[in-house]
Amino acid sequence: MDLTRFLADVDAQPWADLQHAYGSAADVPGLLRALAGESEEAASEAVSELYGSILHQGSVYGATARAVPYLARLAGAGYRTEDLLVLLGGIAEGGADDGDGDEAACRAAVVAQLPLLLATVDAEDQGLRRAAVRAAAMTGAAEKVLPVLRLRGETETDPGVRAELLGALARLDPAGTAAAATAALGADEPAEVRIAALLACVDGGVPWEPVHHGAMLSLLPANDLVEDRLDLEHGEPLRYVVEALLLRDTEADREAAYTLLDAALRSTVAGAREEALWAAEEACLLSRGAPERLAGAVPMLSADPADVPEAYALLMKLGPRAAAAAPVLALLAEGEGDPADRALETLVAVAPERAAPLLARDLGRRPRALGAACGFLTGGTSGTTFPYDSALLDAIRARLGADGLDAYEPVRLASLLTAWGSRASAALPELRSALPRFPAALPRALAAVCPPEHRAATAELLTTAARSGPEEGRLPAAQAVRELTGETGPLAAAVAAQCARGGHAVREAAHLAAELGPEAAGLVPALRSALGGPADGHDVPRLEGDIAIASALWRITGRAEEAVPVLADVLARLDAEWTGWTAVRAARAAAAIGDGARPLVPALEGLLTGGLRTPTAVLALHAIAPESLDRPRAAGLLLDAAEADADAVTALEALVVLGRTALTEDHRRRLTALAERDLRVRSSGVVSGMARADERLREQAREAVRTLS
């Protein structure tokens, strides 16, 4: 390669006009120059920077496709060949086979380099062969690639390349590769080849048989066997196999997955159980039946206290089903430092009644367990609170007067007291004393625990805090005054002051004004003055604040003409990519207005594109202009959203609102499946609460089935 001509060609391209992950691609020529330079360190840094810019976390850009021919020419000329072939494979993987966007352009650009890739499949160096096999497979060009890879497979002897070949063939032709993969499962094959063959069988849909079960167990621990593979998707083989079997969603495959997990969890091979625990955790997140099926392994998991810490994450996902582990968890929780805290955190999930007195014993040094206890309040079923314990109440009272509390502890202590309510009234003196130190965290707890005979004095304290205390505590204090006494003056004054200050807290102030309703008529000018507008563009906090203000104006004045123009402006400024939940809140605000929000119908209909925005848009249109809805089509969109976990709770709510006549037989079948299938619907949110959230969603789906039958 004529390097001078190559670099001149690079410099002639309009890189500054192209985009990558960090904006202008003007830096790409310098990176290409570094790849062809004499400094190994500079070339390595250039490869790393290219991964960060033109292939950022698997995403490709306009500059990516333009760079591909130059990367290929450098690779073909011997400059960082293996690294660049791997990069080209990643670009192809991030591309697409159709369309006219950046993804399709990138895939096509790498396909155009197949002559180089396929020629390198026969390179002398095994690292080059592996990289070329992977990159060629990622192009998806099966007709051109498969014959070359199969021919190579007939003579290849290196286990690493053979493993890569099996993975590549399975990607391009999963069913056609199944026989070869099954043949490579034998114990006489290298372990790297056997695990690749097993994964190829799974990807090819081969029925799971005893031979696969035995091979998987014999290969554990398996993660190291794929450590050198370029295929990161299979980086944890046991977890991948379990997930694949569960996703097949048949009784036979579920039984195979749980039988495999049970055997792996009981393995005495070093490292095997650790991989089994990771796979079991994934199963709990994926399958509704997993916690019940895996509970039988708990006695074995907790047999040796020294081994229990490895199982904490799984035990927390099993929750009360892991009660057999409670004695050993309690024993470990009586220790010192973070190890004891982690044991107690797990005990909170498994046996909260047993955890409460242990948490009381050393509350100040158990931040994990305290956080879990407070998470219990929000992650459990409706009405569930962490168990009241008098010793824990005494410990909380002592902590409220202690020095050195971090930013989270007062909030967590207050949340427990709030949940316990009047049972925690003994903490009233400590809450009153600590209020100046934690003005935002404690007002709600003060109102919740305060007995009738102390309401007047507590309300006076909170009123002073609302009028002259630290700014961050004025709204919470004023709200607590209202909860205690029903008096709204301090709250109205605090809302007006917050509206005058502006900022992101306007949204909270507007919500509180809305709760006051017509009593807050005097706040209307302040709310109007706090509105944003087109100059704020797509600033999400300002959009959210405007929605809250629109709702407050409607609740206070009852005049749609106050609120509808604000919501219309918000809906016009929504960005499809970043403002999904903002659109949901705008649609909810419109729904509350009802018929008076008819001017918003076209904008709301524009939200019926599937996904997160659709459920609330259906509810809004049903409330505002029900005649505008194609109800069977809307029911289908709602089921799409529920199945994709796109605000599934609202989707089911909207289905019930539409009524049974909107549902076809196929709709009914899909709704029943949501309620009764094994695969979880809820797949997003905080991991520790996903299973409980899915259980609540399943009950909602079952109720919807009963209502719509």
Are 145 and 210 contacting, i.e. CB atoms less than 8 angstroms apart? no
Q: SS3 letters for 149-198?
A: HHHHHHHCCCHHHHHHHHHHHHHHCHHHHHHHHHHCCCCCCCHHHHHHHH
| Mean pLDDT over each residue of the chain, to the nearest integer | 93
* Cα-to-chain-centroid distance, residue 655: 25
Secondary structure (3-state) at 25? coil
Q: Looking at residue 380, what is its pLDDT?
A: 41
**Alpha helix stretches (DSSP H) within 389-539:** 390-400, 409-420, 428-434, 443-449, 455-468, 471-485, 489-501, 506-516, 524-529
- DSSP at 679: B
Q: Looking at residue 381, what is its pLDDT?
A: 38
Q: Looking at residue 207, what is its pLDDT?
A: 95
473-509 confidence digits (pLDDT tens): 999 999 999 999 999 999 999 999 999 988 788 999 9
Structure tokens at 176: 């056609």
What's the pLDDT band for 673 if we cut at 50, 70, 90?
very high
- Lookup result for tokens 């005893």: 210
Q: Looking at residue 228, what is its pLDDT?
A: 86
Secondary structure (3-state) at 630? coil
Structure tokens at 265: 């969890």
Are 475 and 443 contacting, i.e. CB atoms less than 8 angstroms apart? no
pLDDT at residue 444 greater than cutoff 90: yes
Structure tokens at 415: 């949340």
592-612 confidence digits (pLDDT tens): 999 999 999 999 999 998 889
- Residue type (1 letter), 118: L
pLDDT > 90 fraction of the chain, expressed in percent and rounded: 90
Mean pLDDT in residue range 141-152: 97
- Residue type (1 letter), 134: R
pLDDT > 70 fraction of the chain, expressed in percent and rounded: 97
263-313 confidence digits (pLDDT tens): 999 998 989 999 999 999 999 999 999 999 999 999 999 999 999 999 999
* C-alpha to C-alpha distance for 90 and 71, rounded to whole angstroms: 12
Q: Looking at residue 637, what is its pLDDT?
A: 97
Q: Looking at residue 505, what is its pLDDT?
A: 85
pLDDT at residue 377 greater than cutoff 70: no
Q: Looking at residue 135, what is its pLDDT?
A: 97
* C-alpha to C-alpha distance for 610 and 644, rounded to whole angstroms: 10
297-309 confidence digits (pLDDT tens): 999 999 999 999 9
Structure tokens at 203: 């990807």
- DSSP at 204: T
Are 233 and 240 contacting, i.e. CB atoms less than 8 angstroms apart? yes
205-254 confidence digits (pLDDT tens): 999 999 999 999 999 999 999 998 888 889 999 999 999 999 999 999 99
Are 20 and 54 contacting, i.e. CB atoms less than 8 angstroms apart? yes
Q: Looking at residue 47, what is its pLDDT?
A: 96
* C-alpha to C-alpha distance for 600 and 625, rounded to whole angstroms: 10
Secondary structure (3-state) at 59? strand
What's the pLDDT band for 576 if we cut at 50, 70, 90?
low
- DSSP at 287: B
What's the pLDDT band for 540 if we cut at 50, 70, 90?
confident
Mean pLDDT in residue range 626-632: 95
| Closest among 415, 408, 414 to 380, alpha carbons compared | 415
What's the pLDDT band for 196 if we cut at 50, 70, 90?
very high
| Closest among 345, 339, 403, 332 to 374, alpha carbons compared | 345
pLDDT at residue 378 greater than cutoff 50: no
Q: Looking at residue 537, what is its pLDDT?
A: 72
392-435 confidence digits (pLDDT tens): 999 999 999 999 898 899 999 999 999 999 999 999 999 999 99
Secondary structure (3-state) at 55? strand
CA dihedral 395, 397, 402, 404 (to 10 degrees): 80
Structure tokens at 88: 């080209």
Are 495 and 520 contacting, i.e. CB atoms less than 8 angstroms apart? yes
Mean pLDDT in residue range 127-145: 96
* Adjacent-strand bridge partners of 24: 19
* C-alpha to C-alpha distance for 597 and 562, rounded to whole angstroms: 11
Q: Looking at residue 382, what is its pLDDT?
A: 37
- Residue type (1 letter), 599: P
Are 322 and 315 contacting, i.e. CB atoms less than 8 angstroms apart? yes
DSSP per-residue string spanning 599-625: GGHHHHHTT-SSSTTHHHHHHHHHHH-
Are 638 and 618 contacting, i.e. CB atoms less than 8 angstroms apart? yes
* C-alpha to C-alpha distance for 601 and 568, rounded to whole angstroms: 10
Q: Please give the model's pTM, rounded to 2 decimal places.
A: 0.86
pLDDT at residue 383 greater than cutoff 90: no
